[in-house]
């Protein structure tokens, strides 16, 4: 049997760099196509818009850039209806250029792609710290680059792209310091920056501090001092700024999602959605990295595993996110999925090496590497098919990304409301992002993310009838008060219904609202409103089919 072809280490390294470069190009092209597929035409104009929660942050950002402060409604009450302060400031920067609304959205989407590209660089560096050779690190990069659900959150405007970059960069710096047997403050500085983007990043900061202090005895005091010290400083600064500006110790979103919600209800839902996620991703693949910790433990592996498990535990503790029914990793778990992919590939590679030792043949290494690549490619399919009927259409972007059809409808409704009302109109909404942002009108948030009264009210037994009526708890979607939102705040138009129309009907009747089908949208308009352009409304009425 002829000897297998041999290449030098220098040639292998060059081929690896070429392959990594091709992966980056492929991801950049994929991201461009993804962003293009989130756009849509309305009345001959192409629009770009973000996931609806991101557009709530965009509303705050636009008002800040316009000099109206960090508020949802210009001139309105100060309520901290966002959980991502530094991301809101980042959004506000783009609004300073006075671009059209849709251009600001696409700028945020492009920035998300840039953050994800940077993350791929650090994923490769982390994987190279853990694995020998060039193939395995590239496979970890490949899984990360084409994990749809991480891309979906980041490329539709969420802060997930920035957070995953900060986490991966901090992990790589920590690994480099461990290898060099030195201490550096930079891993903690990056994670502290992450807590300013979204405070949830306290979880990985605490876990990294604890594990490094445990394993790096020589620098234990430095780890504890800087890790916990910077975290304390970030917490104190954010709390004092919030108290000064909003008059509250905690953000409004805390009261909305936690106040009045039993801990067990949160944990129960968190466990259920986690179970669905693990099962749907292929449970046998998801639990595989446990072998790595049991059979081949080392400090870097324990750190990755600790960060992964802590984020999963945090997701369970808060009850998960509100969108797990769409499939894939939620926003809390998505930021550690690159670390999971590194552990996953490392586990497969360790198993491969053990099998190679059992049968030492000339072609065994080549065959084993081919088998490793084949398993990773097959696993990518499993990781991405959750709740998807047409996964190939999703990956190739023949099918528009999730959330986009809803976003298009909300933008269309927002533009319609802008046309049929004057600038003093008040609009009551359920999905409070795109509609109010594009309507450019005062919004009444019936689910309370930007309303302190609703956020502090008692939760209802279920999360409404918008997507899943049988859920006992759905984060951010189980508090509302029709009497307050409709009969006290008196919106000119109730643009959406939450829960049952039968439940809302008495409040609409008491407020003098009538039903109108305007351009296909079911609106409840206050008949005595002077801020509704009635000629526009009448010209757009659609008569019920006979």
- The confidence score (pLDDT) of residue 15 equals 85
pLDDT above 90 as % of the chain: 71
> How many residues make up the chain in this entry?
546
Overall average pLDDT of the 432-436 stretch: 94
Which residue would you say has higher pLDDT here, 387 or 163? 163
Contact predicate 57/88, CB 8 Å? yes
Please write the tens of the pLDDT for every residue from 389-409: 566 777 778 889 889 999 999
* pLDDT number for residue 5: 58
**pLDDT tens digit string along 31-44?**
999 999 999 999 99
**What is the mean predicted confidence (pLDDT) over 199-217?**
95
The whole-number average pLDDT for the span 468-477 is 64
Mean of the pLDDT values across residues 109-129?
Answer: 97
Report pLDDT digits (tens) over 343-382. Answer: 999 999 998 888 877 776 766 777 888 888 899 998 888 8
* Backbone angles phi and psi of 26, in degrees to 5: -60, -40
Specify the pLDDT at position 446. Answer: 94
Could you read off the pLDDT of 246-291 as tens digits, one per residue? Answer: 999 999 999 998 888 888 889 999 999 999 999 888 888 899 999 9
Average pLDDT, integer, range 295-308: 93
d(CA 449, CA 81): 5
Q: Which residues pair with 516 in a beta bridge?
A: 523
Rounded-to-integer distance, Cα 345 and Cα 338, Å: 11
Write the DSSP symbol of residue 460.
P
Average pLDDT over residues 459-477: 61
Please tell me the predicted confidence (pLDDT) of residue 281.
Answer: 85
What is d(CA 32, CA 517) in angstroms, rounded to the nearest whole number?
37
Q: Which residues contact 365 (CB under 8 A, 6 or more apart)?
A: 4, 356
Q: Is the pLDDT of residue 25 over 80?
A: yes
List of residues 6+ apart from 405 with CB closer than 8 A = none
Identify the pLDDT of residue 1: 46
Buried-state track 506-537, b at ≥16 Cβ within 10 A, e below 16: ebbeebebeebebbebebbbbeebebbeeeeb
pLDDT of 452 > 60? The answer is yes
- In this structure, are strands 40-42 and 442-445 parallel, antiparallel, or unpaired? unpaired
pLDDT at 323: 86
Report how far residue 237's alpha carbon sits from residue 231's, in angstroms, rounded to the nearest whole number: 10
Predicted pLDDT at 28: 97
CA-based max dimension of the chain: 91
**What 3-state DSSP class applies to 465?**
coil
Give the integer Cα–Cα distance in Å for 397 and 388. 13
Does residue 465 carry a pLDDT above 60?
no
Distance of alpha carbon 330 from alpha carbon 274, whole angstroms: 9
User: Mean per-residue pLDDT for 333-337?
Assistant: 96
Q: How many CA atoms lie within 13 Å of 518's alpha carbon, on the beta-carbon side?
A: 28
CA gap 443, 389 in Å, rounded: 36
**How many of the other CB atoms lie within 10 Å of CB of 11?**
10
Give the C-alpha distances (Å, rounded to integers) separating 422 from 76, 531, 536.
17, 5, 11
Contacts of 136 by beta carbon, 8 Å cutoff, 6+ apart: 127, 345, 346, 348, 349, 372
Out of 71-75, 97-101, 412-416, least confident range: 97-101
Distance, CA of 199 to CA of 50 (rounded, Å): 21
The secondary structure of 172-195, three-state, reads HHHHHHHHHCCCCCHHHHHHHHHH
What pLDDT, on the 0 to 100 scale, is given for residue 340?
A: 97
- pLDDT higher than threshold 70 for residue 507: yes
Contacts of 278 (CB under 8 A, 6+ apart): 286, 287
Output 245 or 263, whichever has higher pLDDT: 245
Contacts of 473 (CB under 8 A, 6+ apart): 261, 265, 266, 268, 269, 319, 459, 463
- The answer to whether 379 and 17 are in contact (CB under 8 A) is no
* 78 Cα distance to chain centroid: 25
Mean pLDDT of 95-109: 93
CA angle 18, 22, 26 (to 5 degrees): 175
Q: Report the sign of the C-alpha dihedral through residues 151, 194, 157, 417, in that order.
A: positive
> Please, how many CA atoms are within 13 Å of residue 20, restricted to the half-sphere of its CB?
24
| 3-class DSSP assignment, residue 83 | coil
Q: Directed axis angle between helix 364-384 and helix 263-286, to 10°?
A: 150
CA separation for the pair 274, 286 (Å, rounded)? 11
Asked which of 49-63, 363-377, 412-426, 459-473 is least confident by mean pLDDT, the reply is 459-473
CA–CA separation, 14 and 315 (whole Å): 41
* pLDDT surpassing 90 at residue 543: no
Distances (CA, A) of 262 to 258, 269, 461: 8, 11, 11
**Cα 107 to Cα 91: distance, rounded to the nearest angstrom:** 9
Q: What does the block give as tokens for 350?
A: 């360790």
Residue 92 in contact with residue 64, Cβ under 8 Å? Answer: yes
CB under 8 A, 24+ apart: contacts of 41-44: 42/408, 42/411, 42/412, 42/415, 43/415
Kind plus residue range of the DSSP H or E element containing 516: strand 513-518
How large a percentage of the chain has pLDDT more than 70?
Answer: 94
Region at 198 (left for phi over 0; alpha for psi -120 to 50; beta for the rest): beta
Are 491 and 512 in contact by the 8 Å Cβ rule? The answer is no
pLDDT, position 4: 55
């Amino acid at each position: 049997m002829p000897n297998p072809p041999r290449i030098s280490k220098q040639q292998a390294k060059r081929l690896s760099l070429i392959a990594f470069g091709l992966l980056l190009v492929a991801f950049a092209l994929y991201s461009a196509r993804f962003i293009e597929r989130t756009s849509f035409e309305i009345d001959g104009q192409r629009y770009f818009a973000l996931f609806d929660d991101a557009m709530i942050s965009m509303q705050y950002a636009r008002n800040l850039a316009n000099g109206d402060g960090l508020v949802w409604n210009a001139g309105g009450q100060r309520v901290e209806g966002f959980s991502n302060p530094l991301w809101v400031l980042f959004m506000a920067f783009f609004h300073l250029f006075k671009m059209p609304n849709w251009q600001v959205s696409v700028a945020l989407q492009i920035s998300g792609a840039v953050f994800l590209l940077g993350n791929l660089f650090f994923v490769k560096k982390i994987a190279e710290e853990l694995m020998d050779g060039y193939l395995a690190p590239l496979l970890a990069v490949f899984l990360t680059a084409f994990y749809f659900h991480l891309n979906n959150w980041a490329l539709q405007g969420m802060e997930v792209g920035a957070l995953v970059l900060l986490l991966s960069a901090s992990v790589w710096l920590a690994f480099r310091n461990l290898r060099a047997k030195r201490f550096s403050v930079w891993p903690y500085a990056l994670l502290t920056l992450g807590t300013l983007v979204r405070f949830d990043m306290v979880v990985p900061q605490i876990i990294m501090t604890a594990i490094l202090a445990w394993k790096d005895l020589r620098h234990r005091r430095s780890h504890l001092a800087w890790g916990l010290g910077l975290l304390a400083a970030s917490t104190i600064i954010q709390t004092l700024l919030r108290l000064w500006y909003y008059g509250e110790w905690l953000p409004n979103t805390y009261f909305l999602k936690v106040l009045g919600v039993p801990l067990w209800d949160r944990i129960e839902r968190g466990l259920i959605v986690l179970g669905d996620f693990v099962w749907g991703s292929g449970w046998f693949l998801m639990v595989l990295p446990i072998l790595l910790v049991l059979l081949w433990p080392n400090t870097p592996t324990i750190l990755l595993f600790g960060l992964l498990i802590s984020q999963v535990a945090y997701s369970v503790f808060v009850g998960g996110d509100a969108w797990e029914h769409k499939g894939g990793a939620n926003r809390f778990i998505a930021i550690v999925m690159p670390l999971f992919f590194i552990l996953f590939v490392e586990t497969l590679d360790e198993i491969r090496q053990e099998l190679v030792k059992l049968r030492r043949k000339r072609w065994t290494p080549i065959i084993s590497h081919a088998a490793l690549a084949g398993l990773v490619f097959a696993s990518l399919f499993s990781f991405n098919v959750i709740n998807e009927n047409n996964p190939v259409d999703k990956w190739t972007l023949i099918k528009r990304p999730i959330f986009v059809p809803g976003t298009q409808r909300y933008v269309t409704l927002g533009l319609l409301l802008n046309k049929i009302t004057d600038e003093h109109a008040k609009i009551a909404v359920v999905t409070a992002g795109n509609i109010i942002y594009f309507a450019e009108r005062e919004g009444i948030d019936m689910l309370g993310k930007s309303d302190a009264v609703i956020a502090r009210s008692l939760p209802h037994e279920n999360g409404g009838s918008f997507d899943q009526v049988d859920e006992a708890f759905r984060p951010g979607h189980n508090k509302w008060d029709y009497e307050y939102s409709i009969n006290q705040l008196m919106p000119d138009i109730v643009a959406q219904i939450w829960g049952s129309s039968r439940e809302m009907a008495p409040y609409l009747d008491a407020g003098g609202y009538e039903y109108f089908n305007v351009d296909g949208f079911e609106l409840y308009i206050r008949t005595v409103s002077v801020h509704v352009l009635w000629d526009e409304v009448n010209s757009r009425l659609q008569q019920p089919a006979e």
